[in-house]
Each structure stands twice: as structure tokens, then as C-alpha cells.
Amino acid sequence: MVRAKGEYVEKFAESKNRCSKCMLKKVICVCQRLDALRATEAVDVVVLMNHKERFRASNTAKVIEKVCGARIFVDGNDDDWADFEKLVQERMGEAFVLYPSNVAVSWDSLPVAANVRPLIIVLDGTWGQARRLNQKITDSIPRVKILPTTLSRFLCRRQTQADRVCTAEALALLMSDMGLDQVGSKLEQGLQIVVEGFNMQCYNSTHRPESLLKKGPKATANLPRHPDSLIRK
């Protein structure tokens, strides 16, 4: 089912003259700009993604994929899940899940050996989807959290609480906690590129209209759907 959906969306993207990687219109495609931000550091990153996120233009895991060279494993794809579990077993003792569970601790509190190359597992989906993904990963892998203090700057989707940030923002903050400020900065740059591209596609402007920024979730519920409405389901 997941594979079939992927094939359908790729055909949909082609019919709408969109890039099948970033899902933005080809004239707006941000892939090359994101490729230019590729960072090299002593850390590995993978993304475990809910299958509904893979082909959304608003999804920010594409930033992590490009900047960190991360592989994306799609939950619901049997081959991806088998590869993910194999990787987890191979990197047991080096892997950490970025998720704010009740047992999660800050990076500074983790007993990470100096000679270990960490593997950061990033969960990508809505909060409910991320929670279910977290439940599917063995508890023997430590959970690590970040403590954001400002409202998310990710304006492709609405964030209503100060501790709720998008996937790329969360990893950028963790990289800063790990002392990898350059990677964190590049992730933030990549996020800005995606936000501007998304806004250009939806609103024909790199900035979201001020009228939408001031309205709450209920007030914007009846606004006309933007061009990505067909692939957000």
C-alpha cells in the first residue's frame, strides 16, 4: 500500500510539474540549494517517517536528508522497516532516539563515550504519529530531548505551543546541544529555504500573508485549500 501510494504521488507530481523529491513546483525546486548545505560531522542521522509525510511539500525531513545525508526509513514499507531494525541492532549502544518521552534526558545527561560515533534517530510525523513510532522502537535505546523556549518559526504548519517545533528545528537544536553548531546552523538555513519555497508555491510570496499569521486554527479552518491539499491526506 505504501509503495503503491509512492508510485501514485510520483505520477501526481509529474502531472503537476513538481519535483518528486521536494514536491515543490519544478520552477521553485529547492533540492540544489539544500544539496549545497551538506555538512560533514562525526555523527550519523536517520529519519523514521510516517508514510503520510513522505510526499508532503511542507515536510522538513528533506532538509535533514540533504544537510546530514540522512537515510529516510518509511514506516509501513516492509523493506524499510527491516533495514531500520537491522541498523538499530548493528548500532546498539551508539543509537539515540530524539523524542521527548517521560524518560528522555538532555544530551549532556547521556553517558556517551568519547570514541562513539552517535546515531541519532529522528521521528517524523504529527505528534500522534511520532508517539506511535516511538512505541515501535525498543526501550533499550535511550531517548534524548531538547528544550525549545521560543515558538516554532516553521510556518508551513501551525505550532501552538513553545515546546512544539518541526522535525528539522528539533534536530538543529539537538546539534547545538551536542556542540555541532555548524550543522545546526545549516539545518536552520535549509528550513528557511523550504519555508520560503512552500510559501511561494502556496501564496506566491516567500512570506506567509500577515492575515494568516494572526488567525488561530479555528479562524483559518474555512480558508480555501492551497495546492498541496490533495497530497496532505
Whole-number pLDDT of residue 197: 93
For residue range 102-124, list pLDDT tens digits in order.
999 999 999 887 788 999 999 99
Q: Identify whether 15 is part of a domain.
A: no
pLDDT grade, residue 204 (50/70/90)?
confident
Give the count of domains, the chain.
Answer: 1
Q: Identify whether 145 is part of a domain.
A: yes
Q: Which residue from 172, 81, 175, 82 is spatially nearest to 133, judged by alpha carbons? A: 81
Q: Identify whether 229 is part of a domain.
A: no
Q: Rounded mean pLDDT of the chain?
A: 83
Mean per-residue pLDDT, 33-50 = 94
Quote the distance between the C-alpha of residue 23 and its chain's center: 14
pTM of the model: 0.82
> What is the extent of the structural domain holding 109?
30-213
Mean per-residue pLDDT, 49-62 = 90
Phi-psi region of 75 (alpha: psi -120 to 50; beta: other; left: phi over 0): beta
Per DSSP, what are the bridge partners of residue 95?
119
Residue with cell 541519532: 120
Residue with cell 512505541: 135
Q: Identify whether 24 is part of a domain.
A: no
Cα–Cα distance, 45 to 179 (Å, whole number): 15
Q: Which residue from 39, 42, 49, 35 is spatially nearest to 119, judged by alpha carbons? A: 42
Cα–Cα distance, 97 to 139 (Å, whole number): 10
Q: Comparing 221 with 117, which gets the higher pLDDT?
A: 117
pLDDT of 80 > 60? The answer is yes
Q: Identify whether 228 is part of a domain.
A: no
> String of b and e for 43-52 (b: at least 16 CB within 10 Å)?
bbbbbbbbbb
For residue range 223-233, list pLDDT tens digits in order.
333 334 333 33
Q: Identify whether 21 is part of a domain.
A: no
Whole-number pLDDT of residue 16: 76
What is the per-residue DSSP string for the chain? -HHHHHHHHHHHHHHTTB-TTT-SBTTT--HHHHHTT----S-EEEEEEEGGGTT-TT--HHHHHHHH-PEEEEET-HHHHHHHHHHHHHTTTTEEEE---TT-B-GGGS---TT---EEEEEES-HHHHHHHHHTS-TTSPEE-----S-----SS---STT---HHHHHHHHHHHTT-HHHHHHHHHHHHHHHHHHHHHHHSSSS--HHHHTS-TTTTTTSPPPGGGGG--
Mean per-residue pLDDT, 138-150 = 87
Q: Identify whether 84 is part of a domain.
A: yes
Angle, CA 229 vertex, CA 3 and CA 158 arms, to 5° = 105
Mean per-residue pLDDT, 208-217 = 59
Whole-number pLDDT of residue 213: 56
Q: Identify whether 1 is part of a domain.
A: no
Whole-number pLDDT of residue 4: 61
